[in-house]
Structure 1
Amino acid sequence: MRKTMITTGVVAAALLTLAGCSSNGDDTPTTSADSTAASGSDWPSEITLALIPNEQVNDLVTSAAPLTDYLSSELGMTVNGVVTKDYQAAVEAIGSGQAQIAIADAGSLAAAEDLYGAHAVLQDVRYGASQYASEFFTNIDNADKYCADTPVEATYAATGQTFLYCNSVADSAANTGVGPVAVDALANIESGTRVAFGNTTSPAGYQLPVLALEKLGISIDDLEQVPVTGNDNLIMAVYNGDAEVGFAYWDARSSIDESEVPDLGQKVVVFGLSDMYPNGGVVLSDDLPEDLRVKITDLMDNFSDVDPETLENIFSQTDWVPADPAAIDLARQVNARFSQ
């Protein structure tokens, strides 16, 4: 989350400029008049779903039409898709009544709940998980400093690659990436140590590690911070010795081409994992009647069975699952610490 939320007026303009509409199977836009009567007497005839730009998708509204068409058909109302400027704009769209559904990151789910009484109902599933940890890693040359045991090889199931881990983060039998594990090992970071951090808005690359360090009484102002953009570059900063410790999502080492860095699995060791941070998901406006919120939640939860290809290609995920309030609360803590 950035430090300030953009104004409702800006959001309204963005939505009006970028608004798209669901289709009815041909090139004619669906209107509320085309929709069947809503199931609930107090249900609206038309609602809007806010989407965030995806640089890999040329026309997100059109590409997401299978989802908005599915919702329109099942709900008996028009569900329009619009693209907002960013996640903050999606939150403000919920708050201003410009949108009733938003697909956003975890920080935005928490912000929408806190600012506008909205309801975080679903979380994204990627690589079989709806949450992820920040991994703490160092060069094998520094393993004696951060590892209480001998680093061991373990397989990262998502890619089949083999990497080094210590402090019981993983072993030959299990490598789940579930934290927290060995967070206290961060206490071995000394004042003046060169530490690679990601962008300040990155939960795994910056926010979760900073929270963990602060809980141990370590101020990042006492460290020599090496700012890096991109999880692959964070890994390489430690691999190359430009930083002694780095932070990224589990397991970001898989993002690096093995043919270019064949000894990566032997040179970078993960020595700890943070608390689990939630994936993004779906948030619904409190303006929607409760029974309609339940219906929308059920429909989107089942979309992976209806059209898994759209879910994978457009949203880069395999499923939605019910939101975990405890996980969303961690996103809330991150918001409180880093939105000041």
Structure 2
Amino acid sequence: MLNRRMLLVLACATAALAPVAVQAQSWRAKYPELTFGAIPTENPTVTTERYSKLADYLSRELGVKVNFRIANDYAAVIEAQRAGNIQIAYYGPASYARAVMTGVETEPVVLARRNNGAIGYNSVLLVRADSPYRSVEDLKGKTLALVDPNSASGNSAPRFFLDKKGVKVDSHFGKTFFAGSHENAVLALMQGTADVAANAWYADTDNHILRMASKGMLKDASGKALKADDFRVVFKSDIIPGDPYAVLKSLPEDLKQAIKRAMLDMPKKDKANFDALSDGKDIEFVTTSAKDYEPIIDMLKFNDRARKAG
């Protein structure tokens, strides 16, 4: 039988928990569904396979339906967050920075730590190993496949770091074009429509060349299957911050914290689907903040000034 003191303790505990329950209920009433969008770093099928699993996991953890939406290009994610149509977004560092620079009220919450311990990656320029090109200087007048105007490793970083070496991308290369995704840039290189391709390089054991090879996607214009060592890196940038998952600032604080907590817990609660995000190359999510991406904003501002200067 409960005595008066026990009843008083129980009543106090219930009262303390009540505001939390009310807050959780209030955001679920306002957001009975959420939308998660991702930039198209790979082909639509692979991107959907990876990130729809994350959306399903978040649905279970948050207790509301989380829909996955793949964007046509990087800018589409920026504009969808600007309009409030995507509450959770997977960005590249440059597309996140561009969103912030153009007034999108978004904030990063987590990014992945890779199995080599890094929470960032490099931008590289790739050529075919059977080509005569062994340096950036050898590529003067040649065709460069970039990824997307808002890609860090596929556009902003090579422009910024090559400029530091005295190489202006638009004048050094005879032609540049945007392939649309990291995979498409590699395909352009394989099929001979580009002499060199910009890309992300997470590690020697984790990059889009290896990922495409594992899926049987490395075939040249004649249909010949290629291997990872059929490509050569002729330029590698300094390390840049990893890809952030960002949420709208306007979301209720308890919802933002719930999203962050769920993602930090994913490697333990749903390891199979966490591993599917990176083919097992990531080991955990770690917290991040807007401050971590200030160098990327500076990089974009530098590139913007350089473009205006001609």
TM range (shorter): 0.5 to 0.7
CA shift at 1:222, angstroms?
3.8
Pair 1:132 & 2:82 matched: no
The root-mean-square deviation of aligned C-alpha atoms, in Å, is 4.3
Are the equivalent residues in 2 in contact too, given 1:37–1:45 (CA < 8 A)? no
CA shift at 1:132, angstroms?
1.6
CA shift at 1:212, angstroms?
2.0
Q: Distance in 2 between matches of 1:209 and 1:216?
A: 11
Match of 2:160 in 1: 211
SS in 2 for 1:64: helix
Pair 1:122 & 2:110 matched: yes
Pair 1:199 & 2:147 matched: yes
Are the equivalent residues in 1 in contact too, given 2:58–2:259 (CA < 8 A)? no
With structure 2 as the length reference, what TM-score do the two structures score?
Answer: 0.61
Unaligned runs of 5+ in 1: 1-35, 73-77, 147-185
Q: Distance in 2 between matches of 1:80 and 1:60?
A: 11
CA shift at 1:120, angstroms?
0.8
CA shift at 1:196, angstroms?
3.0
Pair 1:332 & 2:306 matched: no
- Closer/same/farther in 2, CA of residues 278 and 43 from structure 1, 3 Å limit: same
With structure 1 as the length reference, what TM-score do the two structures score?
Answer: 0.57
Residue from 32, 51, 59 that aligns with 1:68: 59
Would you tell me which structure has more helix in proportion to its own residues? 2
Residue from 251, 271, 290 that aligns with 1:288: 251
CA shift at 1:274, angstroms?
0.5
* 1:249-273 deviation line (CA, Å, top 9, x unaligned): 32554344599346x73x7543442
* 1:267-319 deviation line (CA, Å, top 9, x unaligned): 75434421223343321222234454334312211112111222333676644
Match of 1:55 in 2: 45
For 1:182-331, list aligned pairs within 5 A.
Answer: 186=136, 188=137, 192-201=140-149, 202-219=151-168, 220-225=170-175, 227=177, 229=179, 230-233=184-187, 236=190, 243=195, 246-250=197-201, 251-254=207-210, 255-256=212-213, 260-261=225-226, 265=229, 268-313=231-276, 318=282, 319-323=284-288, 325=290, 328-331=293-296
- Closer/same/farther in 2, CA of residues 292 and 247 from structure 1, 3 Å limit: closer
* 1:87-113 deviation line (CA, Å, top 9, x unaligned): 544434433444433333333433444
CA shift at 1:125, angstroms?
4.4
The alignment of Structure 1 onto Structure 2 pairs a total of residues equal to: 253
Q: Distance in 2 between matches of 1:85 and 1:302?
A: 26
CA shift at 1:119, angstroms?
1.2
Q: Percent identity?
A: 17
